[in-house]
Structure 1
Amino acid sequence: MDGVALSLVEPVPPDAAAPPPPPVDPAAAPPMPAERRLDMPTQSFWRFKAKERRRRAAPKLWRTPWISRFVTFGGGLALTAYGGHEMYRVIDVGGVTTLKWALLALFVLNFSWIALSFASAVVGFFALLFSRRPPPLPESLAARTAVVMPIYNEAPSRVFGALQAILQDVEATGLGAHFDWFLLSDTTNPDIWVAEERAFAAMRRRLGPDARVYYRRREKNVSRKAGNIADFVTRWGGAYEHMVVLDADSLMAGETIVRLAAAMEADPDAGIIQTLPLIINRNTLFARVQQFAARIYGPVIAAGLAQWMGRDGNYWGHNAIIRTQAFAHHCGLPDLKGRPPFGGHILSHDFVEAALIRRAGYSVYMMPTLGGSFEESPPSLIDLSIRDRRWCQGNLQHSRILGARGFHWATRQHFLTGIFGYLTSPLWLCQLLVGIALVFQASYFRPEYFTAKFTLFPVWPRFDAERSLALFALTMAILLAPKFLGLILAMIDRETRRGSGGVVMLLVSTLFEVLMSALLAPIMMLIQTGHVFHILFGFDTGWDPQRRDDGSVPFNAIVRRHQWHVALGALTLVAGLMISPSLVAWMSPTIAGLILAIGISYITGQRWLGLVFRRAGVLITPEETTTPKIARKGRALHRLLARAGQDEENCLVAIHGDPELRALHEAWLPARPPRKRGVVSADRALAEAKLADAESLEDAVAWLDRGERLVVLGDRALLGMLARLPRRAEKEEAAAQEDATRLAS
């Protein structure tokens, strides 16, 4: 009996063992987890009662930064008053005419903008002088956080490589179990759609079956990025207490994300915590100028904002953590009445979401010294102007809700700052034109107008030249002060100083950046003025995908974009020489920037020239000298994935040639109700007819346009028709074999 019992527990010889179960393919799992829905009611800008605002859970954390606000706004107001008084003294010689009053009003408006920026930068400078180190890394976390990356027609190798790098960096902290990862696609390009699915399947296989990484594509990108995030929140947001929102060009260190999650857990009143993203990975000269400016001057400006904003801050739409339930309950965006550009869905949704969550009683604040937060910037002036036009429309839209009920005064200030940031360009242009008109009047016309008071002699348009020169020097000093405050901090900080090439190279880079900014400023003035008037006249911007990679814009496109800038610069030069040579000297930076606009735009968009400056040590940033680990990892993964060449492979060829990919694609398509009889879309009818006529895959590729390809990819029946098409070579080979068989018989 014992022998029988022993025989039952003896190990079975290996050669007689049952075969192991086949490995589970991680890519075959559902692309998204089970839904955990949250209601996201649409908010009203005009119906709100103070009693609806939640009570503070941690009142001791709500310290109002009165000193910073007094210095920022009091100092800005005092400087504006002084500048306005000095300008009045400049134009008061011989009496003030209508044109002079116009010049004074425009000067005060423009001067107030730079005065406020200067005062805020001074506050930021002293804040950074005495700043504390980032909080220590927490040993544990209690809540679950979703990290979401909305994407729209982006290169899959870039975004999937970046997200994997961030994921693995978070895992390295030992707290990766508290985070799930989501790629939220609004892609409308069929080739990129299939490439995204292929990249997602490959990523899951690389990370293994335990990786909690997910992918979802919306068929219609309703409300664009805001709608993309809202779709995630309403369907899956209930499973997560927080979400970290990234952009397609974002990189965040794992420690930074973990610290954000810990800060949100420690502050029950926090609704949004924003980081300061620094620009990295830029190679064209234009982008390198932006990268250097953001790294050296950006922290001063951001620290100033963080100091006076306190817990009444703003949100920039990415590289931030959000309390999911609060966002769902209070940030459902309504469409604005009327048609675009001022009506319809809200473009600059981030400012409005910050306003709504702050109105509900949650705090919004920035942690500018946290570090480990990065983004990229447009590679050329043309690319910047395309993005800037969309931002311009979004910020001008905020004028519709500036007076909304329940908004904190700091929220209204954020809106005004965004609006005025674009109105300064046409105001500056008007100031220049009025100044030219006054000089022209003094040079060519005998004045025959009189003031309101009875005088025996006309009012001559004269100016106090000495006081005018002093006021110009003051204006330039205030305008450039934030740059030099950032430079001082960079030279004080050892790591920043050494990482930027030392004191000498920091000075050289700063002087070069100031020169380039002076030349680019008049071009941007005209570009933004054009955007403002374009929008005021009712033209909608649209939402084109951004060009992320470095590269050259075609020269003919640059000429078309800047030809009127050059013409205006030449006209101003000729008119100035006819009026007064001193006027030309005064306006020389503006005139030079406009006349050289085509050359500046072309040269600064060149990658090779940016690399020359990098090798020379000019415009170097610490993140280039010692590349952050997350940036190295993201770049390596991007290059590795791009080497496969699948980012832009024809979607029909990819689906046809890879049955496994086609099976995954069909499995991931959303369930659809049966088509109603008699209701057929034109695209579907054409796609089906073309597939029926096609004798080979090559015919389908040649005949189906982009819209029809999207229909095919979204319809299982049409995918079946596509899969049954032979390749032309296969068809020709089959025909040859048939002919050979016939001849042999």
Structure 2
Amino acid sequence: MDKIVDIVPAKDDILPPESRLEMPVQDLEHWPSGRPHSAGRSHPSIHLCRWFVFSATLALTGLGTYEIYQVISPADITWLQVIFAALFAITFAWISFACASAVLGFLCLRRQRYVLADQDKIGRTALLMPVYHEDPETVAEALARMGRAIAAEKANDKFDIFVLSDSREPAHIRGEAQVFGKLRHDLGDLIQLYYRRRVENHHKKAGNIADFVTRWGGAYDYMIVLDADSMMAGSTLVTLARAMAADDKAGIIQSLPMLHNRWTLYARMQQFAGRVYGPIVANGLAAWHGRDGNYWGHNAIIRVKAFAEAAGLPELHGRKPFGGHIMSHDFVEAALIRRAGWAVYMLPGLGGSYEETPPNLIELAARDRRWSQGNLQHMKLLRVKGLHWVSRIHFLQGIMSYLASPLWLFLLLTGLVLSTVAKYTEPNYFPEGFTLFPAWPVFDPERALRLFTLTMAVLFVPKILGILAAIIDPVLRRGCGGVSGLIKSLFAESLLSALLSPIMMLIQSGFVLDVFLGRDSGWKAQKRTEEAPPFNELLYKHAWHIVAGVLIGVLAFLITTKTFLWLSPIVLGLGLSAVVSWWTGLVSSGERAWRWNVFRIPEEAEPIFGDQNGANPKERLAAAE
């Protein structure tokens, strides 16, 4: 194995003079006041928004749980039915919460207002690009575009760009140094760019950012943290700095990153969903989070002073995966900064903030493995002293985003067992004690239909509201192919989601099991090319999903034909998992969808910088042909 050495040229002009800043490690077990400090006065409507979201979630969950109880309950209640009803209540509460947030977001869609300082009042801002074995040419191209866009906004004297490398392989390091050295030369005096590589990548990305803060943080008022696939318009970068300058209690201001720049069918479906449904949910979150919001780790501006004084992360006690360095550090940094009295909030209507999505299901799963461990690790952080209660809700949301899959799986298996018991076990018509009439088992098909309708409504309301909002917005409507394009995309996304959801249920359930068995995910570079995995490889990776689908289908059919029909979307999704994974991972499938006016987004018609990717979709497809 090659020895890691620091081979970055040690010239005085590669990095600016250090301006050190103390960043103390935070105490998670003690907080002097016992309560978070005030982060400034929230909008008076915040209490109404929170009441609406939690009341609506509680009401929907109560109604759904009551209906499922009425559907499955005979005269005698068994422990298996209690488990089934409890699992249903938890999973239904999860989707009800998302539905309530979406409804709130739709109601608040036109209520977005924020105060901006004059451009000459903004402080010194560092644009940070952490990289770990990323393609340097691709990253350099994105930074060049953002640097020139900042200069076009006449704010280049306020911004510096830092490439913060954690790469380990000597050959890759040499390539980085050459590419970013050339980029620094090409940008010239337009905007300052610096390249730094750490010899020891302690605490991964969180440590990478902390290293910048402790060495150069004293020279900057704010920092905008990017991911390697981030792209932000110059006006967006400047607006974030102006918003921060106008609010002296703001610690983090998060933009809403939209997905873009991918052509596989899977990625295009995700891009459409994020572009049309995402703003509705994000507006709802921003409305009830208020100044007690969250941070997603990138495409956000952070006050360097707040980060230094409040976001120093400790090592967690115990062995990995629950111990060690904090993996999903962004949620924790937001919670600690809010605890210290700094506001954390989102500007969902800002626009001009983008990232890329994994091109296929396998690459999404590879990223999700690390995220699942990081979010489940937050179980140890729920009792951190002094946190705002909304910060604890953020932790719970992250935890539930992965626990929901095994809970759904347990619900499915419990339902199959219940159905099997009902078919092959003779019911007790005459329980102990005197009864004038037999206790006949009851299955109410009318209530079952009502429950199904309620569940579909809760699942589809966010999507329907997103489509309605897109139809109302002329730019978004045209960019998504008009009303016909929106409707076709809605049906296509719903169909593909129905096929993909059971696959992700099993994938994430496996991840959760891995974490609880003590298996560490490690830290691997993310693959960002659109090359589809070979079908043989997908057959191997999805083999147990196919087997699970066949077993569920056979068991359901042996119970009753109706049971099989009810479970047919799950059986079909799992049984065809390799085919669906392969087909949705093809660029040709995504291009065909574009031709059919499906899964289009406005950024393809009006790219961020005018010439993004060198061509619009029509030119791209014509060149490919």
- Residue of structure 1 equivalent to 2:550: 570
Q: Identity rate of aligned residues, in percent?
A: 50
- Residue of structure 2 equivalent to 1:49: 32
- From 507, 514, 538, the equivalent of 2:518 is 538
Counterpart amino acid of residue 315 in structure 2: D
Q: Cα 1:37–1:356, aligned 2, differ >3 Å: closer, same or farther?
A: same
Distance in 1 separating the partners of 2:440 and 2:314? 55
How far did residue 244 of structure 1 move? 0.4
Is the contact made by 2:75 and 2:441 (CA closer than 8 Å) also made in structure 1?
yes
How far did residue 103 of structure 1 move? 1.1
- From 574, 597, 607, the equivalent of 1:627 is 607
Distance in 2 separating the partners of 1:284 and 1:29? 44
Matched, 1:408 2:388: yes
Distance in 2 separating the partners of 1:124 and 1:190? 48
- Residue of structure 1 equivalent to 2:262: 282
- Residue of structure 1 equivalent to 2:620: none
Q: Cα 1:455–1:106, aligned 2, differ >3 Å: closer, same or farther?
A: farther
Distance in 2 separating the partners of 1:136 and 1:502? 34
- Residue of structure 2 equivalent to 1:84: 65
Is the contact made by 2:14 and 2:194 (CA closer than 8 Å) also made in structure 1?
yes
- Residues 479-516 of structure 1: CA distance to partner in whole angstroms, max 9, x if unpaired? 11101100000011111111111101110011000100
Matched, 1:114 2:91: no
- 1:587-626 matches, within 5 Å, as 587-626=567-606
SS of corresponding position for 2:67:
helix
Is the contact made by 1:161 and 1:634 (CA closer than 8 Å) also made in structure 2?
no
Counterpart amino acid of residue 114 in structure 1: I
- 1:382-421 matches, within 5 Å, as 382-421=362-401
Is the contact made by 1:110 and 1:427 (CA closer than 8 Å) also made in structure 2?
yes
Q: Cα 1:575–1:142, aligned 2, differ >3 Å: closer, same or farther?
A: closer
Distance in 2 separating the partners of 1:634 and 1:232? 30
Q: Cα 1:258–1:433, aligned 2, differ >3 Å: closer, same or farther?
A: same
Is the contact made by 1:137 and 1:255 (CA closer than 8 Å) also made in structure 2?
no
How far did residue 616 of structure 1 move? 2.2
SS of corresponding position for 2:426:
coil
- Residue of structure 1 equivalent to 2:323: 343
How far did residue 116 of structure 1 move? 1.2
- Residue of structure 1 equivalent to 2:344: 364
Distance in 2 separating the partners of 1:169 and 1:61? 33
Matched, 1:100 2:117: no
Counterpart amino acid of residue 153 in structure 1: H
User: Aligned-pair RMSD on alpha carbons?
Assistant: 2.1
Counterpart amino acid of residue 247 in structure 2: D
- From 296, 303, 320, the equivalent of 1:323 is 303
Is the contact made by 1:97 and 1:461 (CA closer than 8 Å) also made in structure 2?
no
SS of corresponding position for 2:108:
helix
Matched, 1:553 2:533: yes
How far did residue 550 of structure 1 move? 1.1
- Residue of structure 2 equivalent to 1:270: 250
Instruction: Identify unmatched segments of 5+ residues in structure 1.
Output: 1-25, 638-745
- Residues 690-736 of structure 1: CA distance to partner in whole angstroms, max 9, x if unpaired? xxxxxxxxxxxxxxxxxxxxxxxxxxxxxxxxxxxxxxxxxxxxxxx
How far did residue 627 of structure 1 move? 1.7
Counterpart amino acid of residue 46 in structure 1: E
Is the contact made by 1:442 and 1:460 (CA closer than 8 Å) also made in structure 2?
no
Distance in 1 separating the partners of 2:429 and 2:25? 58
Matched, 1:30 2:35: no
- 1:299-314 matches, within 5 Å, as 299-314=279-294
SS of corresponding position for 1:587:
helix
Is the contact made by 1:442 and 1:461 (CA closer than 8 Å) also made in structure 2?
no
Is the contact made by 1:27 and 1:201 (CA closer than 8 Å) also made in structure 2?
no
- Residues 162-213 of structure 1: CA distance to partner in whole angstroms, max 9, x if unpaired? 0111111011011110011100000123222111111112112211256410
- Residues 218-267 of structure 1: CA distance to partner in whole angstroms, max 9, x if unpaired? 11211110010001100111100110000000001111111111111110
Distance in 2 separating the partners of 1:102 and 1:450? 24
Is the contact made by 1:138 and 1:262 (CA closer than 8 Å) also made in structure 2?
yes
- From 498, 508, 527, the equivalent of 2:507 is 527
How far did residue 53 of structure 1 move? 6.0
Matched, 1:228 2:208: yes
Distance in 1 separating the partners of 2:336 and 2:116? 31
Distance in 2 separating the partners of 1:51 and 1:588? 52
Q: Cα 1:153–1:636, aligned 2, differ >3 Å: closer, same or farther?
A: farther
Q: Cα 1:64–1:326, aligned 2, differ >3 Å: closer, same or farther?
A: farther
How far did residue 313 of structure 1 move? 0.2
Distance in 2 separating the partners of 1:100 and 1:54? 45
Matched, 1:207 2:190: no
- Residue of structure 2 equivalent to 1:184: 164
Distance in 2 separating the partners of 1:32 and 1:41? 24
Is the contact made by 1:261 and 1:321 (CA closer than 8 Å) also made in structure 2?
yes
Is the contact made by 1:149 and 1:245 (CA closer than 8 Å) also made in structure 2?
yes
Q: Cα 1:538–1:547, aligned 2, differ >3 Å: closer, same or farther?
A: same
Distance in 1 separating the partners of 2:415 and 2:41? 53
Larger Rg: 1
How far did residue 448 of structure 1 move? 5.7
Distance in 2 separating the partners of 1:452 and 1:557? 58
- Residues 330-363 of structure 1: CA distance to partner in whole angstroms, max 9, x if unpaired? 1000011011110000110000000000000000
Matched, 1:164 2:147: no
Q: Cα 1:251–1:590, aligned 2, differ >3 Å: closer, same or farther?
A: same
Is the contact made by 1:162 and 1:634 (CA closer than 8 Å) also made in structure 2?
no
SS of corresponding position for 1:365:
strand
Is the contact made by 1:165 and 1:634 (CA closer than 8 Å) also made in structure 2?
no
Instruction: Identify unmatched segments of 5+ residues in structure 2.
Output: 1-8, 616-625
- Residue of structure 1 equivalent to 2:124: 144
Q: Cα 1:201–1:335, aligned 2, differ >3 Å: closer, same or farther?
A: same
- From 462, 472, 477, the equivalent of 1:482 is 462
Counterpart amino acid of residue 577 in structure 2: A
- Residue of structure 1 equivalent to 2:106: 125
- From 15, 22, 43, the equivalent of 1:39 is 22
Is the contact made by 1:270 and 1:362 (CA closer than 8 Å) also made in structure 2?
yes
